[in-house]
Amino acid sequence: MENGVLIFCDKTQEWMIDWWYENYSKYNNFPVCLIDIGLSNDFIKSHREIFIIKRFDKPAKLIHKKSWFYKPFVLQCTPFDKTIAIDVDCEIKGSISLLFEYKSFAITKDIFNKYDNNDNPMNTGVIVYSKNSDVLKRWGDIILNNIDLYHSDQDAFNSMNIKHEEFPIEYNWVRLRGNNDNAIIFHHT
């Protein structure tokens, strides 16, 4: 499959999926892959017609860790050649098609990051990447080998020195910045 969107969650967050999809589908019609990291059976049955649903088996080292640490592993499960991964607490307020124009790994700044020493931290709530991305593999290795050093997947990501493209902040506008009528993706983190 060419282009698509990937989201993931478990049963504690599945209540956000209908809200997420309602907003997404007002402006976009790319296929959506929902990675199941512990969804309820009832939810899966009632949403098979809307999403491509793929089950994710957690690495043994991560079984008792916060689900956000699964992110680099989950993102590698994409069925798409080019993927936009979006956190389920993101409100889609416009077309995201421009993001598919990025050629390599693309992400945006995180000016509110308080957990690492990176001079230019990135926010992992919205990521554009190609299938078989080396960045995802490196990111996953860092988490598996050093998980106790990091507060979140984002801190592990920011410990890496990688080349990336940066998309406009309006495609991952964090709530802490205040309101923005021009935000395409409003991240309610």
Distances (CA, A) of 16 to 20, 128, 153, 155: 6, 22, 21, 24
Written as one string, the DSSP assignment of 69-91 is GGHHHHHTT--SSEEEEE-TTEE
Tokens in use for 48?
Answer: 């098979």
Strands 173-174 and 165-166: unpaired
pLDDT per position as a tens digit, 141-183? 999 999 888 888 998 999 998 889 999 999 999 988 889 999 9
pLDDT per position as a tens digit, 102-140? 999 999 988 776 666 667 889 999 999 999 899 999 999
The model's pTM: 0.94
Distance CA 20, CA 23 (A): 5
Cβ distance 28 to 99 under 8 Å?
Answer: no
